[in-house]
Chain A
């Protein structure tokens, strides 16, 4: 019996590091991913995508969306680091999951991929709305593009689109340019104008519109042109990353493998850009790229090393911060030339670009303005694709003490002279007045 215990403990202690190998500020890449599916057939029809994830070390757990046993958290701890919703038609999640649970999941810093499709359920639409995108209200609407469609064997209704209108960001889409257009068939969405965080990664062409391909168009379509977003991302304020798309089939093996030729274009690509695009973007979503951290914020007077509790006006000070980028496996120095520091009290009094030593250390020195008050060192580095760095450190700036002023100033010598000559004069006058005669 004792031996069994020993083995148990030993195995737990060996396994523990692996069990704990989850998302943390130190290793921000996600590990445990829950995939909710409409049916298990998707596992095989989309296996290329899932295998790509698995090969990068993700631990995928496939569940049916209406499985009554699914849960995102247990005992207040989240069981997963990310959630993939490949269940466009689910009306009600099983278990304890609902829209609020998903929202909370995101709000506590976890990532989410949502793929809707034609006839997406209200539930999925609601998730989309919470993330700041509005799917076309017509449930059977699809994105149609009579000019930018993909040439296929059967002359169809132009709902299979080939789009190559990407967001221009190497951080999100990877350094390698995506040559082939992306195949897309599904519902379009618009980004909510009230939401400032949602970005269109893949937009439809100006000739696209969203309508039901089976019925005749009686009214102007609500969504047209490049206002239609095919794939959108959100980086929430807590750096949770979200991907929303209106097509589940764009993740499928068929789309991954099929060649693509855009209408009115001579170039025929052997393979669509879907695999490269979706894999690269999943790297971004799962924090393998574009994740920054700032550590070791230091500030002190020039010539000193200790951080003071407060500064005096006109002090010379030095400020330094180290910024690193997560490469997926380790923290690499972040190299940029546009990290700026504000010395801020209701408005920036000092705004300086930090100089970098290319090893992650950013520093600058400046003179405290001649204004007292409670200032903040602020680094607001918000760059497309990167996690937003927002450091602020409060520091009071005091005026001079009474004995820190210059004691004798040249301009005052006339006054000193006047005072002393007055004293002398008074003395002589008193003497003369008292002892003359």
Chain B
């Protein structure tokens, strides 16, 4: 088994990407897009911006000014997208299986599926596929704005990727474009089209949670909920040589999607730990202008001694609830002051909870403030959310059984408390528009989508509020909108297993070997761990882990087994039989079934013989058959071993040479040879 981490990803929107060779099958885990790369580009320029840009481009020669990073340093071009660079080192046609663990992990898939020669089976949970499709369609439609602005691309190679252009870029942007090691320029690709997305969706096979699918009869693949996003999952792969669990970012508590089903991952022989969320969580997030980060002071170490779910959930639940209440109170205060609230958040769970919390707080404070959701796919997305009870958490499912809508937005839409519109200039929005208001819209990178236009409108207003996701570099995100007078609030929600829980969790899961990220090595300690062995992996370095079993399981049908003719060897008390039947590979297990086909029945001669042909036994055996023979023992000089020659005269003439490992029959008649052959066969141990 060989495991290569292609990318450890970063944050919720860019999950890790790995390649695994298991039982001779090459499996790719996830195909994400690094959308934070968008921040290197300028949002669609306004006419004023464009003028400035022209000016800067023509009048003064651009040169490298290290510390001066302003809106003009951004790339003014149709953005390209950053895929996992290491994935391009692989020949796509050699991938056998692609497993997508979340809607975020599908975002880069059209780049793969549009390549020629890709024949991999792609498995995605049904909910991930549908959400992923909507997210990709949204991305394509937001990107279309750029295409309209810049017109068709002139060359296949964009000028900003040229070496000389890269040289003069500020280091922050250079890091984005080339990566920390300066080798990632190959990962950039132009956007896929809506047709690519459609084509990609047609190529995937959808699965339900805990549904068994079998690849090529060899590998049984199962998905189990992981609690991060609707449809997101962990995987179990079960092959003839053992099983392996793939643990992606997982949440013990969720207010919208089905929670982490860790019990189903129990008892696999190996486990790939691929939750890097604690890596980014631990990083300090720089504060923006006026931003107050509610998480920094509420992030208390959680107690986690046992896998007691109730205490566990309530802890996380409480924390998350507190944050939501805090955000909503900020928003309410803001609209009370006459400012508007802009929420460019793409995490579904957060949006849905904020929406419900926000409307209840608005009602509580008796305010009539419109809430807009602006996105090309919002309407379909909200409709979809209400018809997938099977993928939601217990509390939401209870609503189904009680006959209530799964999410509050159904009712709110009917009551016209929230307005769902496809884009910023839709008629419906223009007719209803009213400020102050609360707007949910994509995209969190602040480079594409409706958010750009609204941010330009409100960024100078100190009364308004911007609520950001946990972006690594908010400074850069807000760069094109400087100076920013509006309040900025960054909210951070956990999207993975907390570091304190890693060890107790792994102890509960009882794998024999764990593949663990090197980056998290210092943060967790397995030194006292006896129950499993740990091997650490780093990005782009293959890790070889030995399979647990050196032989495969084979099941023999009872009706066939009853027909076996057993032969007992004198030594060691071993019973041996020859097998005859149809070998079948099904669901990762070999089966041997009774074969009724006459054609394959062959001669009864022994396959292998062993032991010594004892001439003392041969003579009586021959004489029983009416053959007279005499023995002559010759010493072989070359190999210094005894060779026994047996001469037969009556009724046939033949010479039998008996050595330690072979016996040679020399005769003129084939019939004689076969008679003698049988005689010798009988005295040897044959199978």
Are A and B physically bound partners?
no
Interface residues of B (CB under 8 A from A): none
Interface residues of A (CB under 8 A from B): none
